[in-house]
Structures are given as C-alpha cells and as structure tokens.
C-alpha cells in the first residue's frame, strides 16, 4: 500500500517528515500513516510539473491519449484490489466500489484518452485575404483538490481532461482518503507517464491545499468540496488571477408527482440519498412529495430504508457502509438534533445501528425527517449523509418553488408519467443537472457541475476539455499584401 507523496515520478517522504493517520471507518483502526505535504512539498511538485509541461504539451495528442488508455486498461486489470482499497479507506460498500467506482474511473480515463486527439480548433470566416484559426492550447500547471467522498472516481474526473488537453497536474487528495489516488499514481508510473506530468501531494487543506490554490506558478485550480472552502479557494487564487473551477455542495430536490410510477420512484429516491451513505454532492437530499401520494410513499419508503443492510463495507452483502470519518459522523448526527429543535418529525433512523459488531465504526442508520417548512435548516443546509428531508406540495408551481428555494443548484430529479410536465419542470429547475424518472446517472460524456452556490465550470464531456484549454487566435495575411495604413 503506497503512503508517500508522488513527486517528479518518485514516491518520497514529506520534506518536514510529517504523517497523517489514515483510519478504517468500519472500526476506527489505523490503516497506515500517509506522508503529509506542506508548502515545501507543494512547491517541489509544482516545479516538477512545470519542468514536465513543455514536453508533455508538445507530445502528439494521440500519444497522450494512448497513455490514458493504457491507464484505463491497468485499472481494469487491477479492478478488484482497487475496489478493496477504496472500500477500506472510504467505507463504500464493496459491491458499489466493484460495480461503480472502479469501472467509472476506468471509463473516465478511457473517454478522455479517446478525446485527446479529437479536440479540434476552428476557422473563423473573417475578411477576404486573411485566415483566422483558433487553437485550443493547454493552460499549463493545474492544481486539483479532490475530497474524500469519491476519491478514486474524482481523481479520474479531474486528471482525465487536464492530461488529455496537455496540462501537467499537481493533485491533492483528501488526507482522510488518499490511498486509491496514490495507487493510481503507481499505475501511471507503470504504464509510462513521464516523470513530473502528475504529482500527488496528500496533506491538510489549510496547508497543502491553501498553497496549491495560491501558488503563483499554478495557472488553474479545480476544486471539489464545500462552498465555504470554495470561497477561500477563490480568494487564494487572486494573486496570479488563476482560473478557478468549483464543484461545491448541493441540496438536490427530488420531486415525486402524483402520477409517478411509485415503485420506481421509491427505489430511485432511496438510491438518490442512501448511495454512498448520502455523501454525495448530487444526493437527492430533499424529497418533495405530492400531498396525494405522500403518505403511501412514505410508508413504503420508510420500510425500504429500514431494510437496508448496514455493515462492514468489505462484506459483499452490505448495502450501506459507515460514514467516512468520525468528524463527519458527528456533523451528520448534529443535524438530527437540529431537526428536532426546529420541530422536524424524525420518521426513521437518526441513530447508530444496534449491531454490536459496528459499534466502533462511523455508522448511522438511514434517516428520514419531515421538515416543518422549506426554510428549516434541514431543508436548506447540506447534511451530506444518509439523511433525507421530506417536504410536501399541492401544485406543480409549489413543487418548483420548493425545489428552487435553496442557494444551491447541482443535482435534481423528478418522477412523473406526464411528458410535458417532465420537460417543463426540468427546464425550470435551477440546477446543473436534472434526472427524469431516474437519479444520479453520470457518464464521462455528459457535463457535470452546478449553478449558484454549487459552483461553476464543468467536469466531464467536451466542456471539461474546453475548461482545461485556452483559445489561441492566429491571424494570417494570406495574400501577403502590405497593410494600407502607412503605405508610402
Ligand atoms: P472541505 O471543503 O473543507 O474539504 C474539501 C477538500 O478541500 C479537502 O481536501 C480539504 O482538505 C481541502 N481544503 C480545506 N481547506 C482548504 C483551503 N483553505 N485551501 C485549499 N484546500 C482546502 O470539506 P469537508 O471535508 O470539511 O466537508 C465539509 C462539508 O463539505 C461536507 O459536509 C459537505 O457538505 C461538503 N463537501 C462537499 C463535497 C462535494 O462533493 N461537493 C465533498 C466534500 C465535502 P482538509 O480535509 O485537510 O481540510
């Protein structure tokens, strides 16, 4: 298991020798100690990425793509061990790591591997006698900060487009869950990525993360995490006016209309909030139910939530694992208190499971709370756990009003059999993504990102390639005429 920094193609200890304990969320035991990068290490990593940039950016795009494709193959070849590592470190149920995290990571690198030589510039129809073409050029050294909720997948979302477009990377995984990202670095070295193209610096946000965000030689910073930290990243980026891409929090509204197919909606709503223990920025954390079906829906939804198998993430039958850190467990539990203080009705969960074998882990049962009003804190603030807030509505207008009543705008969903209502509502949702009769679908070709306090810029798809390049405009005097202005 790799636990050092990866700088300039080598695994090294942190300059100041510090380490951080990486804990198993199932029982709080120590998995390993990982090197903790500080400013000195970040500076070394940026210098390595800067040295690697001229050669990497000049390499034929197809060759860069080939390396990404080889990485995707290496991920497939090591799928089981990667899935085990991700589950051990994060608490993701192993069935999800096997079926989702690992294949999606390989698919993302494969998509951008294929995309590398498909990013084309354009020719602009300008005045006769001139040719104007626009090239998409890489930006330079990019800094990337990845959170703890989907470390493996988010590493591919961030690195895939950046590398395909010809940038070099310094990436800081969360110190809570750095292991799968370091394993990816090992695989990159094995498949032949040149030294310095990718550098991995696990460490604390306020030191390593802050240095990366303010570093004068970093040309772009891409961040996934909380809105509060996103604001700090923007402030830190100002020194050299680096480009910023932010994928922040969410409070996804999942609307169930009274004509919805209930079986699918109940199952989909459970997936929307309980997958990965609700630790997802796109989680459907507000369940907005039509008054006419609300009681029946809730009876069945509560029964389903109570039946979810909670357990050791490495057990193949586990459907929900622990939260990823003790600190986060405390935060989620505090919201149960907030709900009660504000008159919310806790209909399920709100406590740890009774199974004594889980007592040392960071477990909490699927929690369903009906809020009094859409303005309650539990209906406005991101809990980021297996905690869903129920709200009711009477009309389509009211459903939309509730859905659009937070400052966030990332994921959203709706369930109906009425085609017009579906498209009308989707168009009016203030959100970067909307799922109709499904939830949480992602694909490397489909742009992912938010509006409002959920951030800006897009991951994945063609948009991500654009976000990792600059448009360079070149003018050619085709006829070779002397300009008329000072002609003698
Ligand atoms: P943060 O936003 O604080 O952390 C995310 C990442 O940013 C971590 O790697 C963190 O490092 C780093 N970071 C923290 N401060 C700075 C800084 N000043 N400069 C640069 N990087 C920094 O989220 P938390 O982990 O504290 O979680 C709090 C809440 O954030 C969650 O409950 C959830 O609501 C939201 N969140 C949203 C995510 C998403 O997918 N959009 C992902 C994670 C969290 P360090 O851990 O050392 O602080």
Q: Give the model confidence (pLDDT) of 289-341 as tens digits.
A: 999 999 999 999 999 999 999 999 999 999 999 999 999 999 999 999 999 99
Q: Over 90: is that where the pLDDT of 361 sits?
A: yes
pLDDT value of position 119 = 94
Show Cβ contacts of residue 165 under 8 Å, excluding neighbours closer than 6 positions: 116, 119, 136, 138, 139, 465, 468, 469
The string over 32-71, giving b where at least 16 C-beta atoms fall within 10 Å of a residue's C-beta and e elsewhere, is bebbbbbbebbbbbbbbbbebbeebbebebeebbbbbbbb
Q: Over 90: is that where the pLDDT of 487 sits?
A: no
Show Cβ contacts of residue 265 under 8 Å, excluding neighbours closer than 6 positions: 256, 297, 415, 437
Ligand 1 atom nearest residue 280's Cα: 40
Pocket test for ligand 1, best of 225, 380, 440 (most atoms within 8 A of CB): 225
Q: Over 80: is that where the pLDDT of 12 sits?
A: yes
Assess whether the C-beta atom of 325 lies below 6 angstroms from ligand 1. Answer: no
Q: Over 80: is that where the pLDDT of 488 sits?
A: no
Assess whether the C-beta atom of 204 lies below 6 angstroms from ligand 1. Answer: yes
Q: Give the model confidence (pLDDT) of 138-197 as tens digits.
A: 999 999 999 999 999 999 999 999 999 999 999 999 999 999 999 999 999 999 999 999
Instruction: Write out the catalytic residue numbers.
Output: 247, 281
pLDDT value of position 484 = 80
CA 458 / ligand 1 centre spacing (Å):
18
Residue percentage of the chain with pLDDT more than 70: 100
Q: Give the model confidence (pLDDT) of 188-238 as tens digits.
A: 999 999 999 999 999 999 999 999 999 999 999 999 999 999 999 999 999
Q: Over 90: is that where the pLDDT of 485 sits?
A: no
Assess whether the C-beta atom of 133 lies below 6 angstroms from ligand 1. Answer: no
Q: What is the mean pLDDT of residues 386-413?
A: 98
CA 384 / ligand 1 centre spacing (Å):
12
Task: Name which residue sits closest to atom 28 of ligand 1, judged by CA.
Answer: 226
Q: For domain 5-248+450-474, is the CATH number 1.10.10.10?
A: no
Burial of 440 (0-12, 13-18, 19+ CB in 10 A): buried
Distance CA 444, CA 464 (A): 10
Pocket test for ligand 1, best of 36, 101, 205 (most atoms within 8 A of CB): 205
Task: Name which residue sits closest to atom 13 of ligand 1, judged by CA.
Answer: 205
Q: What is the mean pLDDT of residues 71-87?
A: 98
Contact call for residues 182 and 202 (beta carbons, < 8 A)? yes
Q: Give the model confidence (pLDDT) of 263-297 as tens digits.
A: 999 999 999 999 999 999 999 999 999 999 999 99
Distance CA 191, CA 365 (A): 42
Task: Name which residue sits closest to atom 35 of ligand 1, judged by CA.
Answer: 226
pLDDT value of position 482 = 82
Assess whether the C-beta atom of 469 lies below 6 angstroms from ligand 1. Answer: no
Distance CA 175, CA 222 (A): 17
pLDDT value of position 242 = 98
CA 205 / ligand 1 centre spacing (Å):
7
Q: Map out the domains of the chain as residue ranges.
A: 5-248+450-474, 253-436
Assess whether the C-beta atom of 224 lies below 6 angstroms from ligand 1. Answer: yes
Q: What is the mean pLDDT of residues 423-432?
A: 98
Assess whether the C-beta atom of 323 lies below 6 angstroms from ligand 1. Answer: no
pLDDT value of position 376 = 97
Q: What is the mean pLDDT of residues 397-410?
A: 98
Q: HEC states along 70-88?
A: HHHHHHHHCHHHHHHHHHH
Distance CA 103, CA 114 (A): 16
Q: HEC states along the chain?
A: CCCCEEECCEEECCCCCCEEEEECCCCCCEEEEEECCCHHHHHHHHHHHHHHHHHHHHCCHHHHHHHHHHHHHHHHHCHHHHHHHHHHHHCCCHHHHHHHHHHHHHHHHHHHHHHCCCCCCEEECCCCCEEEEEEEEECCEEEEECCCCCHHHHHHHHHHHHHHCCCEEEEECCCCCCHHHHHHHHHHHHHCCCCCCEEECCCCHHHHHHHHHHCCCCCEEEEECCHHHHHHHHHHHHHHCCEEEEECCCCCEEEECCCCCHHHHHHHHHHHHHHHHHCCCCCCCEEEEEHHHHHHHHHHHHHHHHHCCECCCCCCCCCECCCCCHHHHHHHHHHHHHHHHCCCEEEECCCCCCCHHHCCCCCCCCEEEECCCCCCHHHHCCCCCCEEEEEEECCHHHHHHHHCCCCCCCCEEEECCCHHHHHHHHHHCCCCCCEECCCCCCCCCCCECCCHHHEECCECHHHHHHHCEEEEEEEEECCCCCCCCCCC
pLDDT value of position 159 = 98
Going from the C-alpha of 249 to that of each of 289, 321, 400, 450, the distances in angstroms are 23, 21, 20, 9
CA 100 / ligand 1 centre spacing (Å):
23
Pocket test for ligand 1, best of 147, 223, 377 (most atoms within 8 A of CB): 147
Cα-to-chain-centroid distance, residue 220: 17
pLDDT value of position 292 = 98
Q: Over 90: is that where the pLDDT of 80 sits?
A: yes
Q: Which fold has domain 253-436?
A: Aldehyde Dehydrogenase; Chain A, domain 2 (3.40.309)
pLDDT value of position 483 = 82
Task: Name which residue sits closest to atom 30 of ligand 1, judged by CA.
Answer: 226
At residue 306, φ and ψ (nearest 5 deg) are -65, -20
Q: Which sign does the torsion angle of CA 360, 275, 366, 228 carry?
A: positive
Q: In residues, how long is the chain?
A: 488
Pocket test for ligand 1, best of 35, 170, 229 (most atoms within 8 A of CB): 229
Going from the C-alpha of 473 to that of each of 136, 211, 243, the distances in angstroms are 9, 32, 19
pLDDT value of position 98 = 98
Task: Name which residue sits closest to atom 40 of ligand 1, judged by CA.
Answer: 281
Show Cβ contacts of residue 484 under 8 Å, excluding neighbours closer than 6 positions: none
Assess whether the C-beta atom of 274 lies below 6 angstroms from ligand 1. Answer: no
CA 28 / ligand 1 centre spacing (Å):
21
Assess whether the C-beta atom of 249 lies below 6 angstroms from ligand 1. Answer: yes
């Amino acid at each position: 298991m790799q636990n050092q920094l990866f700088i300039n193609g080598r695994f090294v200890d942190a300059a100041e020798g510090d380490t951080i304990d990486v804990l198993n969320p199932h029982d709080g035991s120590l998995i390993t100690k990982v090197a903790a990068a500080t400013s000195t290490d970040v500076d070394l990593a940026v210098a390595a990425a800067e040295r690697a940039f001229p050669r990497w950016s000049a390499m034929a795009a197809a060759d860069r793509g080939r390396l990404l494709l080889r990485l995707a193959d290496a991920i497939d070849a090591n799928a089981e061990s990667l899935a085990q590592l991700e589950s051990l470190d994060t608490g993701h149920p192993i069935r999800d790591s096997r079926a989702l995290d690992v294949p999606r990571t390989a698919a993302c690198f494969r998509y951008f591997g294929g995309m590398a030589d498909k990013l084309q510039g354009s020719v602009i129809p300008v005045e006769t006698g001139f040719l104007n073409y626009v090239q998409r050029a890489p930006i330079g050294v990019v800094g990337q900060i990845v959170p703890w909720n989907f470390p493996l997948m988010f590493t591919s979302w961030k690195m895939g487009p950046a590398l395909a477009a010809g940038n070099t990377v310094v990436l800081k995984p969360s110190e809570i869950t750095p292991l799968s990202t370091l394993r990816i670095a090992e695989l990159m070295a094995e498949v032949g990525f040149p030294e310095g193209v990718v550098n991995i610096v696990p460490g604390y946000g306020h030191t390593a993360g802050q240095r990366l965000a303010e570093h004068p030689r970093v040309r772009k910073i891409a961040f996934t995490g909380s809105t509060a930290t996103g604001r700090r990243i923007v402030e830190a980026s100002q020194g050299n006016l680096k480009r910023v891409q932010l994928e922040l929090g969410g409070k996804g509204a999942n609307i169930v209309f009274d004509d919805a197919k209930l079986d699918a909606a109940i199952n989909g709503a459970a997936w929307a909030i309980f997958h990965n223990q609700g630790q997802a920025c796109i989680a459907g954390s507000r369940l907005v139910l039509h008054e006419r079906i609300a009681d029946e829906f809730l009876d069945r939804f509560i029964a389903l939530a109570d039946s979810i198998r909670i357990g050791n993430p490495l057990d193949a039958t586990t459907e929900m694992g622990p939260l990823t850190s003790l600190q986060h467990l405390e935060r989620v539990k505090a919201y149960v208190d907030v709900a009660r203080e504000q008159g919310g009705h806790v209909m399920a969960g709100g406590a740890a499971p009774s199974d004594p074998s889980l007592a040392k882990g960071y477990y909490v049962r699927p929690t369903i709370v009906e809020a009094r009003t859409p303005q309650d804190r539990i209906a406005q603030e991101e809990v980021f756990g297996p905690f869903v807030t129920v709200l009711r509505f009477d009309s389509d207008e009211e459903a939309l009003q509730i859905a659009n009543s937070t400052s966030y705008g990332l994921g959203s969903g709706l369930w109906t059999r009425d085609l017009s209502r579906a498209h009308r509502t989707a168009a009016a949702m203030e959100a970067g993504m909307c799922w109709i009769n499904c939830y949480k679908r992602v694909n490397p070709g489909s742009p992912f990102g938010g509006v409002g306090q959920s951030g800006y810029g897009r991951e994945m798809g063609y948009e991500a390639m654009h976000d990792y390049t600059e448009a360079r405009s070149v003018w050619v005097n085709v006829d070779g005429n002397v300009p008329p202005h000072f002609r003698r």
